Structure 1
């Protein structure tokens, strides 16, 4: 079982992204997430982290897969990935400065743009599948050397039964 979750919050073609103040990914735009607490399922963690970091009580979280990585030959771990869409009537004004960093809406096309060095090198590889309503769930595996992407593969997950695991 992995220790972390990440959630991509979407509304009207925009993603609520966090520019992190702390490692890992300090200074980069990323989804909202964090560490699982004892006895917590990945879904419960994603819901809690979104509320703690944004104040939003979103509904309809969808499990969208797993992202794992190996850095400089060491298996560093991974995270469970979620996607939630906010209804149009939910207002969330940005930018917002908080302990974790700065929250701001970014156009989906900006996040996925080629050579956008403001997001982590792996995000553009897996995010389209995460945001898709039609794609199945995947385990996305990355191999990095320093901050360079060396290899990537995606394997379709059979089910989302792992979400029940505390």
Structure 2
């Protein structure tokens, strides 16, 4: 059975909120915060909840930015990744047991080796366009085999 996940790109001036993951996938890498959509919860509700739980921040005026399917070659299913973006954030940034969080300058992220390849592929579409995205990411042995995105 497929699972539905959220990923929220939180932007503040020339910085993006990143979280160093303590769980698979991408354990030890910096990625946008998010997580699993729980029962009786909309993707937007899940996005806001995950940001609050994982970073201590409240987000508002969240925009739905797209949907991607994510598959590992050895899986027989694709998971669904719902993409969100906001520039409106309040509260005090704090790390959680889900991982350390930090504001990182956007330009540094593109050359930073400790972010997942898929994150750096998605980031310019999220930050530099207002379009809704759809596509798929297929992994083979933890490396991207196919990254297909449509605007």
Q: Paired residue for 2:97?
A: 99
When normalised by structure 2's length, the TM-score is 0.87
Q: Give the conservation status (yes or no) of the 8 Å contact 1:126–1:140.
A: no
**Which of these two proteins has the greater Rg computed from alpha carbons?**
1
Q: Tell me, what secondary structure is at the counterpart of 1:104?
A: strand
**Structure 2: distance between partners of 1:97 and 1:11:** 17
Question: 1:34 Cα deviation (Å)?
Answer: 1.1
Shift of 1:147: 2.0
Aligned residue number for residue 84 of structure 1: 86
- TM-aligned CA deviation for residue 117 of structure 1: 2.5
Hey, what's the Cα distance between the residues in 2 that align with 1:37 and 1:127? 25
Distance in 1, Cα, partners of 2:74 & 2:95: 35
Q: Are 1:65 and 1:130, in contact at CA under 8 Å, matched by a contact in 2? A: no
Residue segments in structure 1 that go unaligned for 5+ positions in a row? 157-166
2:107 to 106, 109, 112: 109
Q: Is the 8 A contact 1:4 1:36 kept in 2?
A: yes
Equivalence for 2:26:
25
**Per-residue deviation, residues 51-83 of structure 1 (Å, max 9, x unmatched):** 111222221101111122221242341210111
* Aligned length in residues: 149
Residues 44 and 91 (structure 1 numbering): CA distance in 2 closer, same or farther, change over 3 Å? closer
Q: Which runs of 5+ in 2 are unaligned?
A: none
Q: Secondary structure at the match of 1:24?
A: coil
